[in-house]
Amino acid sequence: MENLTVRYGHHTALEDVTVRFDAGQFSAIIGPNGAGKSTLLKTMVGLLPDPDHNVRFDEGHEAKNCIAYVPQQQTLDWAFPVTVWDVAMMGRTGRLGWLHWPSKKDREIVASALKETGVYELRNRHIGALSGGQRQRVLLARMLARRGHLLLLDEPLTGVDAHTQEQLMALLRREADKGRAVVMVTHDLEQARNWCDHLVLINKRVIADGTPQQVYTPHNIEATFSSSFLGVGHE
């Protein structure tokens, strides 16, 4: 994205953001509450308008079909009457269109995604009857089932226990190593430093962008987080 500015009415959520996410890279977007991290992902997914086309995708990838998006868990309606299997299958139906009956191959992909995230045994369970960590795994299974080129995840480890967090980070690392571009919003600086090869510190503007070694300096951390305490620095 190049020189991306996003406003909600009079409030500027992102200002002049230029950043590039590459295939094969595991990127973390880090910043305080209200920094514009979700706004950045939503603009990439196309959930927010981008009238000046500041977000661009490499030629050869049809943007709509290449993105797999994991929104923040609390933004979804978990009372919706569907099973774990149905939610994972939504990763496929997005590609096929709603009227297309899933093929054997689709069912195989969904089963493998559920196994990889450790919720295959729960496949017939209603999503309302899952714990927070199980829900997060189901959302990741839906993402894997999509077989996208660009994986966008908004705080995917919220509510997940420490051991499982490591497993899921390893899973995302593998997806990047397979050649996908993985972009994750997180509040966990340590985890980002351990697993990601690209960090973007953001607070409405990009504060730093590069390898963990380049980005992770006391000066950059201070510049990203200090002004936001108690909302100072936001309109």
Ligand X SMILES: Nc1ncnc2c1ncn2[C@@H]1O[C@H](COP(=O)(O)OP(=O)(O)OP(=O)(O)O)[C@@H](O)[C@H]1O
Q: What is the spatial distance between Cα 52 and Cα 3, in angstroms, rounded to a whole number?
A: 10
> Is the Cβ of residue 11 or residue 64 nearer to ligand X in the bound state?
11
Q: How far is the CB of 86 from ligand X (least distance, A)?
A: 27
Compute how many other C-beta atoms are within 10 angstroms of the C-beta atom of residue 98.
7
Q: Of residues 111-150, which lie at the interface with ligand X (CB under 6 A)? A: none
* Separation of alpha carbons 153 and 181, rounded Å: 11
Task: Give residue 91's identity as a one-letter amino acid code.
Answer: G
Does residue 229 belong to the site contacting ligand X (CB under 6 A)?
no
Phi, psi of 26 (to 5 degrees): -105, 110
Q: How far is the CB of 70 from ligand X (least distance, A)?
A: 14
**By C-beta, is 33 or 124 nearer to ligand X?**
33
By CB under 6 A, residue 8 contacts ligand X:
yes
Nearer to ligand X, 38 or 220 (CB): 38
User: Of 42, 71, 68, whose CA–CA distance to 146 is shortest?
Assistant: 68
Q: Which residues in the 13-52 window bind ligand X by CB under 6 A?
A: 13, 31, 33-39
Q: Report the nearest approach of ligand X to the CB of residue 12 (Å).
A: 8
Q: Give all strands (DSSP E) within the chain, no chain letters.
A: 4-8, 11-17, 26-30, 67-70, 150-154, 181-186, 198-203, 205-210
Per CB under 6 A, 75 contacts ligand X: no
Residues that bind ligand X (CB under 6 A): 8, 11, 13, 31, 33-39, 234
